Structure 1
Amino acid sequence: MDEGKAFRDLHAATFVMPNPSDIGTALWLEKAGFKALATSSAGFAFSQGLADGAVGFEAMIAHCKDMAAAVGVPVSADLEKGKGDSATSAAETIFAAEAAGLAGCSIEDFSGDDGRPIYDFSHAVERVAAAVEAARSLKRDFVFTARAENFLHGRADIDDTIRRLQAFDKAGADVLFAPGIADEATLATICQAVGKPVSVIAPRDASIDRLAKAGIKRISLGPRLTQAMFGAVNRAAREILDRGTFTFMDDALPFGELQGLFSR
């Protein structure tokens, strides 16, 4: 199977792409019926006892390689800003992602510099253009997602965000993504302003149908599944420590189901 093409074809309609932080969860989600998966930079960091942004690029690529090898569905990756700040490093990120067996990846315009968290417009576009050129040079299909990070870093500027997404679209990005925006009317405005599929992290009060009506093609979960898993552990721990009981086990998956899935 050409996983890049299969992944691209999913964007013809609205679909959900969950973000497991480990291989076991990835296998379970594949079994559940999801047609594509993605890594989560924050989810993986939390699973390793690290803060978001604290996982180095090589460690993240190794994680992505493990995830892509473990499942039979396309895997895309959240690769943060990539290997570095330059346009050349953005292209190198694509080559590393393809070598890891990924069907696609995303690169951000977040610099990692708290003083200037968002790359200047022209530099951000140069990075996207270099990543697109690298993706087009591959021998197999590869879906490149360009991310505009304003709303995650204190710049709630919808005009600049749309301007960036439109420029990323023109530069050839396959999918566009502005995380941190949950308002459905704003999402619809973004979808109408660009010509490529738009991705979103599922808002708490949204639904697949409503997001589809807004024009969204891809719904991811970011670190939400990892947060939910930590939430379940937290509730269990609090019950044990505060009440001295163990009813949290009622919601646990049966041991046999997990044993059966992983006894391959």
Structure 2
Amino acid sequence: MLRLSALYRYPLKSGKAEPLQQIGLDKLGLDGDRRWMLVDEASGRFLTQRAVAKMSQLSALWNSAGGLTLSAPGHAPLDVALPGSEAELRGVTIWRDTLRVPDAGGAAAAWVSAFIGKPTRLVQIPLERARSTEAGFGKDDDKVGFADGYPLLLIGQASLDDLSARIGRPMEMLRFRPNLVIEGGDAFAEDGWKRLRIGDVEFRVVKACSRCILTTIDPQTGERSADREPFATLDTYRKTENGAMFGQNLVNDGVGRLEVGMPVTVLE
């Protein structure tokens, strides 16, 4: 039997993961997932672990006031309020998308600039300013926050076990930054799924996820693997014309709640 074995939220794009036991879903995937982002102050271009590996050590968790609490080794924690309707809008660029979103203010900017080591701003994306998912995949009204392209990423535990066996040492699931981890199936069974249901929510599988050098960053230490694993091995048996694939991008149809342990039903 397939079951949901783990849930992860990433409040800040490319920040630390937040393991969850249960969580709600809205139009943009898991409540609060990748709704905040760091951008270069001068260009507005988004920052991730691909260029700033130490972002893996940056914790940004939702707080009881509805904002974000930033923390990192050597830096005092900072509570950041959710930007209100009067907040300054900042032009930002994420991949090919350019949009204007609320800026989190001067105190947050000073904190993240000190952490990154150059002038940086913290921005937030409300539902009404969400981006469209990649054209040609999914539906025209599918939306996404600051995740790379789609609201949710699913990985089968058996797929990671297969990869770890080929490498010869266990790989951390968080190198791949999934939202949903499924156990009970065969390795890469998720490649053949089109629709599934968890609890009362149905999901569409819209596109395989092409992996990059970010997978070589140890999520605990922020250090890159000297042997380029697990990307090097993935590239030997999961490579396609669009890259080395690992995991499936999903869109949720409707809202509801997920909880670790729920059964997963493949509908198509």
* TM-score tier after normalising by the smaller chain length: under 0.3
TM-score by length of 1: 0.26
- Which structure has more strand as a fraction of its residues? 2
TM-score by length of 2: 0.26
- Which structure has more helix as a fraction of its residues? 1
